[in-house]
Amino acid sequence: MDPVFSALSLYKKRKFEECVTTCTELLDKNPFDQAVWVLKMRALTEQLYVDDLEAEEEGIAEAFMDNETIAESARPGTSLKNPGTSQGGSTQGYRPWTQTGRPVSGVVRPGTQTARPGTMEQALRTPRTSKTARPSTSQSARTIRLGTASMLSEPGGPFIQLSRINLGNYASKPALAKPLFLYILYHENSIRHALQLAVLATQACEFKDWWWKVQLGKCYFALGLMREAEQQFRSALRQHQCIETFLRLGRVYIRLDQPLSALDVCRTGLEYFPKETTLLTEIARIFEGLNNMTMSVKYYREIVTEDSTNVEAIACIGMHHFYTDQPEMALRFYRRLLQMGLYNAELFNNLGLCCFYAQQYDMTLSCFQHALSLAKDDDVADIWYNIGLIAIGVGDTRLAGQCLRLAISADSTHAPAYNNLGVLELRRGRVNEASAFFQAAASLAPYLFEPYFNHSSLSHKMGDLQASYIVIQKALEAYPNHVPSQELLRALEKHFTFI
């Protein structure tokens, strides 16, 4: 068989390694065979290609060192920075918040961990483990790790020496320039060179090729030049409507913290591509970010009617039902996920909780036992914590205490476990221990209002009104509409002003 044809066939079968070796052999014989050269480039790129739209995550540096921020205190419901402000959203009272201080999401995505904290210190203080830490910039080691090729030296030097290559030569040849661009961007991860090539190429085709404009926008986006990226994407959309471009333009607006503009872009996209699930997902995510769960779930439902195996949509709808007091509905959605072949600790944990609250007691504990046996290091703490909740529900405080201690020993920064342990100690009348646990929970998770409220009401009962007053204000800062906290504050104020 013709070796070029076999390489092509290998590429189509997605056997990239073998394809690359075949191409290398061919190139050794004839270094100027452009077809093989392009094929090798494509194979190398495909090997390392990541869906950068899904993996995108805003780094600490971008969040703080951007100069695009306009309003410090945005109007309610127009900013992703303070999700608590939107009207009619869920509150912490019945939907807990994640470690980074956002409402819990149905699925873990890079974006769900990236709350936008108010201060740099807060950003650095959020419990940083290998699982939850956010990168310092989006162009950091993490991206490189996703595409490690540029860090490992290849035998006989790199395939293409970027510093030696004459980009101008290739820019005018679209058949060569496009694969080369993708290779530089994804394989070499050199945005500077990629941008250079894209600029030259778009000039060469007299600004008529929308593809180059999208690529330019991608480069600008990666470099943090949001307004330039916006311009490129908009201009590309005028020439040709493409789902990816809509999504990318939406991301630009999200980065600029203009979720409403992002929603507009996605809706325009839906006019061209009705019921397109990626666009619907994007809209649902933005609504979730704005803490508008009803709208978010509405779009997720639309996704499920189009694509009944969309894990994210099913999980999010399930989560919504669970926290709106319909665990039996949530149970159905999670069971659907199980039927689809998902088999992990988180799912069993959720199933167990749903069974318990939907009063299907016979399945509850076996679900948790499955979850425990499947759990990895990072989620075992949450499972112990949930078993602790079941134990409290059953009334076995001794078991609950043990479970919560296990949760803490698995993850020494598990603030809700500390809080619940404090409540259990308080019930046993051990005030000092309880107070210490509340303090620990509060220092680990300043976004939770429960430890503050518990600590404050404990101090109030103990007669330490000053401490109680200081702490209750923090509780109200975390959750301004918490009525018992407000009542406690009012009672304390009465104490202080009373003559």
Scan for tokens 């290739």, then name that residue.
170
Residue 449 and residue 476: Cα distance in Å, rounded?
7
Q: From 116, 57, 105, select the one nearest 288 (Cα to Cα).
A: 105
Q: Select the span of 31-39, 282-290, 365-373, 480-488 touching another protein (CB under 8 A).
A: 365-373
Q: From 182, 189, 194, 245, select the one nearest 46 (Cα to Cα).
A: 182
Residue 171 and residue 203: Cα distance in Å, rounded?
9
Residue 403 is a binding residue for another protein (CB under 8 A): yes
Residue 60 is a binding residue for another protein (CB under 8 A): yes
Judged by CB under 8 A, the residue of 358, 371, 375, 442 near another protein is: 358
Structural contact between residues 43 and 35, judged by C-beta atoms closer than 8 angstroms: no
Judged by CB under 8 A, the residue of 50, 65, 71, 141 near another protein is: 141
Residue 33 is a binding residue for another protein (CB under 8 A): no
Binding track, positions 294-333, relative to another protein; x by CB under 8 A? ------------------------------xxx-xx--x-
Query: Hey, what are 414's tokens?
Result: 């598990």
Angle between helices 191-204 and 174-182 (to 10 degrees): 160
Least Å distance, CB 358 to another protein, is 6
Beta pairing partners, 78: none
**Strand, helix or coil for residue 374:** helix
Residue 338 is a binding residue for another protein (CB under 8 A): no
Structural contact between residues 181 and 172, judged by C-beta atoms closer than 8 angstroms: no
Task: Kindly tell me which of 37 and 186 has the beta carbon lying closer to another protein.
Answer: 186
Least Å distance, CB 368 to another protein, is 7
Residue 397 is a binding residue for another protein (CB under 8 A): no
Query: Hey, what are 235's tokens?
Result: 């201009």
Binding track, positions 275-294, relative to another protein; x by CB under 8 A? --------------------
Burial class (CB in 10 A: 0-12, 13-18, 19+), 28: exposed
Residue 381 is a binding residue for another protein (CB under 8 A): no
Task: Kindly tell me which of 181 and 437 has the beta carbon lying closer to another protein.
Answer: 437
From residue 380, give the alpha-carbon distance in Å to each of 113, 372, 414, 421, 443.
19, 7, 11, 17, 22
Q: Select the span of 35-43, 220-228, 255-263, 409-417 touching another protein (CB under 8 A).
A: 409-417
Residue 368 is a binding residue for another protein (CB under 8 A): yes
Q: From 256, 253, 322, select the one nearest 282 (Cα to Cα).
A: 253
Least Å distance, CB 254 to another protein, is 22
Judged by CB under 8 A, the residue of 146, 162, 311, 394 near another protein is: 394
Got the DSSP string for 390-451?
HHHHHT-HHHHHHHHHHHHHH-TT-HHHHHHHHHHHHHTT-HHHHHHHHHHHHHH-TT-SHH
Task: Kindly tell me which of 15 and 405 has the beta carbon lying closer to another protein.
Answer: 405
Residue 435 is a binding residue for another protein (CB under 8 A): yes
Structural contact between residues 58 and 110, judged by C-beta atoms closer than 8 angstroms: no
Residue 11 and residue 42: Cα distance in Å, rounded?
9
**Strand, helix or coil for residue 167:** helix
**Residues 76-135 close enough to bind another protein by CB under 8 A:** 124-125, 127-131, 133, 135
Residue 30 is a binding residue for another protein (CB under 8 A): no
Residue 138 and residue 468: Cα distance in Å, rounded?
42
Residue 9 is a binding residue for another protein (CB under 8 A): no
Residue 492 and residue 221: Cα distance in Å, rounded?
51
Judged by CB under 8 A, the residue of 78, 397, 413, 486 near another protein is: 413
Task: Kindly tell me which of 15 and 142 has the beta carbon lying closer to another protein.
Answer: 142
- For residue 430, give every residue at least 6 positions away whose Cβ sits within 8 Å of its Cβ, in sequence order, or none: none
Binding track, positions 161-180, relative to another protein; x by CB under 8 A? --------------------
Phi/psi for 433 (5° steps) reads -65, -45
Query: Hey, what are 419's tokens?
Result: 């809080």
Judged by CB under 8 A, the residue of 387, 389, 426, 458 near another protein is: 387
Judged by CB under 8 A, the residue of 304, 351, 444, 472 near another protein is: 444
Q: Select the span of 26-34, 337-345, 438-446, 481-489 touching another protein (CB under 8 A).
A: 438-446
Judged by CB under 8 A, the residue of 378, 464, 473, 486 near another protein is: 378
Residue 207 is a binding residue for another protein (CB under 8 A): no
Least Å distance, CB 178 to another protein, is 25
Residue 153 is a binding residue for another protein (CB under 8 A): no
Task: Kindly tell me which of 230 and 382 has the beta carbon lying closer to another protein.
Answer: 382
**Strand, helix or coil for residue 163:** coil
Residue 406 is a binding residue for another protein (CB under 8 A): yes
Q: Select the span of 205-213, 248-256, 440-448, 466-474 touching another protein (CB under 8 A).
A: 440-448
Residue 50 and residue 59: Cα distance in Å, rounded?
18
Query: Hey, what are 286's tokens?
Result: 């933005």
Phi/psi for 320 (5° steps) reads -60, -45
Least Å distance, CB 186 to another protein, is 15
Chain residues in the site for another protein (CB under 8 A): 60, 124-125, 127-131, 133, 135-137, 139-142, 144-145, 324-326, 328-329, 332, 358-362, 364-366, 368-369, 372, 377-378, 387, 394, 396, 399, 402-403, 405-406, 408-409, 412-413, 421, 431-433, 435-437, 439-440, 443-444, 493-494, 496-499
